[in-house]
Amino acid sequence: MNGARTMIEQEEALDWTIRTRDPDFRDWDAFTRWLEAAPGHAAAYDALMLADADLPALVPAEPLFAGTPANDRGAPASRWRWRWIGGGAIAAALVAALSIGMTNRADIYTVDTRPGEVRVIALDDGTRIEINGGSRLRLDHNDPRFAALDSGEASFTVTHDASDPFRVTVGDTVFEDAGTIFNIVRAGDATRIGVAEGEVIYNPDSDAISLPAGRALREDGRGLTIVSVAPESVASWRQGRLAYDNAPLADVTGDIARSLGIRIVGAPPLRFTGTILLDRDPQRFFARAAPLLGVTARHTRDGWILKERDGPQS
């Protein structure tokens, strides 16, 4: 009896601990009344607040939400251009028309792209998938609303149907469209998604985090990071540009290697903010991009070796 009562009081005390911790908490009258309701309430609250004060020391402080929260949508996303600016050197575009089968059985097939190769797939429902180089995507002949990105990068321009949402599976994670253009990168254990238009739901059956246009999410061994991005920079690889905001250099080099079809060795522990222009000629590309990235690039038999520049050059 007494134990059950203490349990409930403990729960209430925790509730008030969390509520009063909120910078926007205002309901001090209700809090006063709860404290007055039983003599043990104040002590239970004090003990929990003391525990609460220790929590930041227990938790590694890593910024998981960088950039400004996008409360207001700025200018509407600029129109997408579908081709490389420099002409179709890698426009090995494959347009496959897929029919919706009458059966419910999955009929999975795999689309692989070589490094540097880009493929465009048009599904029967009007959805369009652009697959960057060095990628593996699985699709289902019998279910045009299914896609799984096993590695690499792809952009999805989805024909929205609320009654039958389009879902992309990446490892254990599911992204569900809510009327959308979005881009996904899968490299090692890290998954990145950027939303250009509409909205994407992260793990709709469990976490159900909604990512509107201008939001990007990164998931890796360290947890989730959500950042704001310029919607027009999402999937800019399709226009021959790569745009970043405080991205680890390893992400950048992975994207370059995939897009240009080259091998890159070593990623110094740097971060990069800015836009780099892709160029089919790696020599010319690195001549321009390496200084921006703060590295030197050397071509060897094993690929391109990147090293951190020694200090500021005068």
Partner 1 sequence: MAGLADVFLAHRTALLRFLRARGAGTEAEDLVQDLWLKVEGRDGEDVADPLSYLYRMANNLMLDRYRSITRRERREQDWVDAGSGVMAEAADDRLADERMIAAQQLEAARAVLRDLGPRVELVFRRFRIEGVGQRTIARELGISLATVEKDLQKAYRAMIALRQRLDTE
Please state the closest distance from residue 152 (CB atom) to partner 1, in A: 22
Question: What number of CA atoms fall less than 13 Å from residue 113's CA on the CB side?
Answer: 31
Regarding 211 and contact with partner 1 (CB under 8 A), the answer is yes
Binding residue for partner 1, selected from 12, 48, 112, 271, defined by CB under 8 A: 48
Regarding 124 and contact with partner 1 (CB under 8 A), the answer is no
Q: Which span sits near partner 1 by CB under 8 A: 47-55, 92-100, 285-293, 300-308? A: 47-55
Whichever of 92 and 209 has its CB closer to partner 1, that residue is 209
* CA-only gyration radius of the chain, Å: 25
As given in the structure block, the two tokens for residue 212 are: 């509107």
- Helix ranges, the chain (H): 2-21, 28-37, 41-58, 249-260, 282-293
Binding residue for partner 1, selected from 30, 36, 88, 89, defined by CB under 8 A: 36
Regarding 308 and contact with partner 1 (CB under 8 A), the answer is no
Regarding 79 and contact with partner 1 (CB under 8 A), the answer is no
Please state the closest distance from residue 30 (CB atom) to partner 1, in A: 11
Regarding 310 and contact with partner 1 (CB under 8 A), the answer is no
255 burial via Cβ count (<10 Å: 0-12, 13-18, 19+): buried
Secondary structure of residue 11 in the 3-state scheme: helix
Please state the closest distance from residue 35 (CB atom) to partner 1, in A: 4
Regarding 189 and contact with partner 1 (CB under 8 A), the answer is no
Angle at 79 between CA 73 and CA 81, to 5 degrees: 140
Regarding 53 and contact with partner 1 (CB under 8 A), the answer is yes
Could you count the other beta carbons within 10 Å of the beta carbon of residue 23?
A: 4
Say what the alpha-carbon torsion angle 258, 262, 263, 268 is, to the nearest 10 degrees: -70
Binding residue for partner 1, selected from 151, 169, 210, 296, defined by CB under 8 A: 210
- DSSP assignment of 224-255 equals EEEEE--GGGTTGGGGTEEEEEEEEHHHHHHH
The secondary structure of residue 2, as a DSSP letter, is H
Regarding 8 and contact with partner 1 (CB under 8 A), the answer is no
CA distances, 180 to each of 176, 177, 264 (Å): 9, 6, 32
Binding residue for partner 1, selected from 30, 46, 73, 273, defined by CB under 8 A: 46
Binding residue for partner 1, selected from 96, 122, 174, 226, defined by CB under 8 A: 226
57 to 76, contacts with partner 1 by CB under 8 A?
58-65, 69, 71
Please state the closest distance from residue 173 (CB atom) to partner 1, in A: 9
Task: State residue 16 phi and psi, 5-degree precision.
Answer: -70, -30
Regarding 169 and contact with partner 1 (CB under 8 A), the answer is no
Judged by the rule CB under 8 A, the positions of this chain that interact with partner 1 are: 14-15, 17-18, 20-26, 28-29, 31-32, 35-36, 42-43, 46, 48-56, 58-65, 69, 71, 199, 201, 203, 206-212, 219, 223-224, 226
